[in-house]
Amino acid sequence: MSNAVSDLPQRVFLHEVAPRDGLQIEPVFVPTDAKVAWIDRLSETGVAKIEIGSFVSPKAVPALADGEEVARRIRRRPGVRYAALIPNVRGAERAAGTGLDEVNVVVSASETHNRANLRMARADSFRQLAEIARVLEGSGVALTSSVATAFGCPFEGPQERAKIFDQAALLIDAGCVGVTLADTTGMANPRQVAETVAAVLRARPEIARGSVQLTLHFHNTRGVGLANVLAAAQAGATRFDAALGGLGGCPFAPGATGNVCTEDVVSMFAEMGVETGVDLGRLIAIARELPDLVGHEVPGQVAKAGRPCDLHPVPTAAAA
């Protein structure tokens, strides 16, 4: 299908974050064998990146305590990048030996959320960046960073755009090759997203040149996740975090709910003629097994409804 809408990119890249953002809020511990088998199947879907877990305190997030083992045991598919979230230097030390492609250091735009999530001041998070970069030097693990609560904080409310830009600048200066703007609790709206993405692309030539990747990370907490993805794409963003089945949420943000759903995002782009590189049928097949993996229904829509091209048999009464 040709791309008829001129303000959309030809190609977007999906980052599957269900094994990290998705599982971190689940009350059950998905056994390591099941995680590894699941990630291996996700590797075959055509997503560009998979966040396989995190190297945070196992007391803070017991569901992801097996990060090293998962990283060691997954089958790395060439062309897919494998990442993990870290909160501090200790996380970088744990990640350095894993051979993962990248780590994602999370720092909130909001002081209050940073303290709730990481139990430290933003200034202390920023101070650790240089040491994290030093730990990773020569390890082959690239440094990327997420700006949590970039579009609003559940404790403080709106965050000034200047603060987001200052943080992005600081991260890029610290050597980050990727910056993710994260809407941790689904507070963003499409106009705000479009304006922010356009402004970031204007302000940061490294992103326009491609030496730093910009990723958008939305949660569907208020039902506008897909609208935000579309607004970001129309403003020039091409990389999106999403979680299979719409799993996800930050355990340290009240009212947190799932990420935008990977198969819903892929279906939307596919219907609009935007290339994602993802095999939607394969993705849906894995999504349909999620209730068995996590023990409950999941919010994603397309896995329940089927693709728009999955037509139903004509009822006898309607047959000509």
Maximal CA-CA distance, the chain: 72
Which does residue 24 touch among Zn ion, ligand COA, none (CB within 5 to 8 A, set by kind)?
ligand COA
Residue nearer to Zn ion on the CB measure, 108 or 267: 108
- Name residue 222's amino acid: R
Strand partners, 254: none
Q: Which is nearer to Zn ion, 16 or 21 (CB)?
A: 21
- Nearest 5°: phi and psi at 54? -140, 160
DSSP H helical ranges for the chain:
23-24, 32-43, 67-73, 89-96, 111-118, 122-136, 161-173, 190-203, 205-209, 225-234, 262-271, 280-287, 290-294, 302-305
Q: Is 106 in the site for ligand COA (CB under 6 A)?
A: yes
For the bound state, the minimum distance from the C-beta of residue 238 to Zn ion, rounded and expressed in Å, comes to 19
Helix (H, G, I), strand (E, B) or coil at 206: helix
Pairing mode of beta strands 213-218, 239-242:
parallel
Token reading at 87: 């909160």
Please check whether residue 172 is in contact with residue 178, taking contact to mean a CB–CB distance below 8 angstroms.
no
18 makes contact, choosing from Zn ion, ligand COA, none, with CB < 5 to 8 Å by partner type, with none
3-state secondary structure of 81: strand
Segment near ligand COA (CB under 6 A); pick from 44-52, 85-93, 122-130, 173-181: 85-93
Residue 110 in contact with ligand COA, rule: CB under 6 A: no
Out of 54, 110, 196, 262, the only residue in the binding site for ligand COA (CB under 6 A) is: 54
Instruction: Considering the complex, state which of residue 59 and residue 209 has its C-beta at the smaller distance from ligand COA.
Output: 59
Tell me which of 118, 294, 302, 303 binds ligand COA, using CB under 6 A.
118
Question: What's the closest the beta carbon of residue 265 comes to Zn ion, in angstroms?
Answer: 14
84 binds ligand COA (CB under 6 A): no
**Cβ distance 49 to 20 under 8 Å?**
no
Within positions 9 to 68, which residues make up the interface with Zn ion, using CB under 5 A? 21
Instruction: Report the residue number, 65 or 232, with the smaller CB distance to ligand COA.
Output: 65
CA distances from 153 to 68, 147, 250 (A): 31, 11, 12
Confirm or reject binding of residue 181 to ligand COA (CB under 6 A).
no
DSSP states along 301-316: SHHHH--TT-PPPPPG
Candidate list 29, 41, 44, 57; residue touching ligand COA; CB under 6 A: 57
**Is 250 known to be catalytic?**
yes
Inter-axis angle of helices 262-271 and 225-234, to 10 degrees? 50
Pick out residues in 260-289 that bind ligand COA (CB under 6 A): none
In the complex, the smallest distance separating the C-beta of residue 25 from ligand COA, rounded to whole angstroms, is: 8
Contact segment (CB under 6 A) with ligand COA among 43-51, 81-89, 263-271, 279-287 equals: 81-89
User: CA-CA distance, 251 to 231, in Å (whole number)?
Assistant: 27
Interaction of residue 56 with ligand COA, rule CB under 6 A:
yes
For residue 43, the partner it binds in Zn ion, ligand COA, none, with Cβ less than 5 to 8 A by kind, is none
State how far Cα 307 lies from the chain centre: 23
| Touching ligand COA, residues 123-162 (CB under 6 A) | 148
Q: Which of 153, 250, 261, 309 is catalytic?
A: 250
Q: Directed axis angle between helix 89-96 and helix 122-136, to 10°? A: 20
Pick one of 16, 22, 49, 55: the residue that binds ligand COA (CB under 6 A). Answer: 55
Residue type, 226: L
Catalytic site positions: 250
- Interface residue list for Zn ion (CB under 5 A): 21
- Interface residue list for ligand COA (CB under 6 A): 24, 54-57, 59-61, 85, 87-88, 90-91, 94, 106, 117-119, 148, 250, 252
